[in-house]
Amino acid sequence: MITKERIGAYIDSLDAELPAYLRAIEKEALSNHVPIVKRPTRGLLRFLLHSHRPARVLEIGAAVGFSALLMSEYLMEGSRITTIEKVPKRISEAKKNIKEAGKESVITLLEGDAADILEELSKKGETFDMIFMDAAKGQYLNFLPPVMEILKKGGLLVSDNVLQDGDIVESRYAVTRRNRTIHFRMREYLYTLTHTEGLDTVVLPLGDGVTLSTKMK
């Protein structure tokens, strides 16, 4: 949590409880150290889905399917989610969770490397109203060009975990050596989002940091 802990806890206390099946998935994911969206980000996603009412949502980084299932709770009728995952164990868990939730008609899971799948989607002329970026943080910058190809004009790109628990403001030499490449790439990603013509971006110190980017052209 980047904001003061007491304020964050208070804001979290105001949020609505998750459905029972999502609480169960959350508990299992946390016990297995699988990263899932933080509570403040969940509230933001709910708000954005209700306000933007996207017909087609793409998620990059399904993990065990928690966030795709979460978003499916707030979609308007007839909307669909496509989510991408490459880790076999997580694919298996995501499939199970989606099936048990009865959301197979709403959520489509694409298996494989996101870079390859994004390129394929672009070649097919697929487009999305909203894209949720929540995959390997060091790859965000590489994913951005194909993402911009498939994001509709007026569409919304939501990128999670962009402030890295506040480390993003530190010198690259102040972060651990193993995190320096990700630190550098994330700073480049944030600069690109905020300095690209035709893209309007706001950076929010919410959860672990979120950016909202609207494609203007």
* pLDDT, tens digit, 9 for 90 and up, residues 76-130: 999 999 999 999 999 999 999 999 999 999 999 999 999 999 999 999 999 999 9
85 annotated to a ligand binding site? yes
pLDDT in tens, 178-195: 555 666 788 899 999 999
113 annotated to a ligand binding site? yes
Determine the Cα–Cα distance for residues 10 and 189; give it in Å rounded to an integer: 31
114 annotated to a ligand binding site? yes
When the pLDDT of each residue in the chain is averaged and rounded to a whole number, the result is: 90
Q: What is the dihedral of CA 146, 88, 63, 1, to 10 degrees?
A: -100
Q: Identify the residue with better confidence: 148 or 8.
A: 148
Assign 175 a pLDDT band (cuts: 50, 70, 90): low
Collapsing DSSP to helix, strand or coil, 206 comes out as coil
Q: Is the pLDDT assigned to residue 34 strictly greater than 90?
A: yes
Q: Rounded to two decimals, what is the model's pTM?
A: 0.89
28 annotated to a ligand binding site? no
Of residues 156, 196, 193, the one with CA closest to residue 52: 156
User: How many angstroms separate the Cα of 194 from the Cα of each of 97, 105, 135, 191, 200?
Assistant: 36, 36, 20, 5, 7
Determine the Cα–Cα distance for residues 156 and 54; give it in Å rounded to an integer: 9
pLDDT in tens, 37-80: 998 899 999 999 999 999 999 999 999 999 999 999 999 999 99
Residue partners of 22: CB distance under 8 A and separation at least 6? 66, 69, 70, 73
160 annotated to a ligand binding site? yes
pLDDT in tens, 147-159: 999 999 999 999 9
161 annotated to a ligand binding site? yes
C-alpha 151: how far from chain center: 14
pLDDT at 165: 57
Assign 16 a pLDDT band (cuts: 50, 70, 90): confident
Classify domain 20-215 at the CATH topology level. Rossmann fold (3.40.50)
Residue partners of 39: CB distance under 8 A and separation at least 6? 12, 15, 207
pLDDT at 26: 95
Structural domain boundaries in the chain: 20-215
167 annotated to a ligand binding site? no
* Region label for 201, one of left (φ > 0), alpha (ψ between -120 and 50) or beta (otherwise): beta
Q: Is the pLDDT assigned to residue 21 strictly greater than 80?
A: yes
Q: Is the pLDDT assigned to residue 173 strictly greater than 60?
A: no
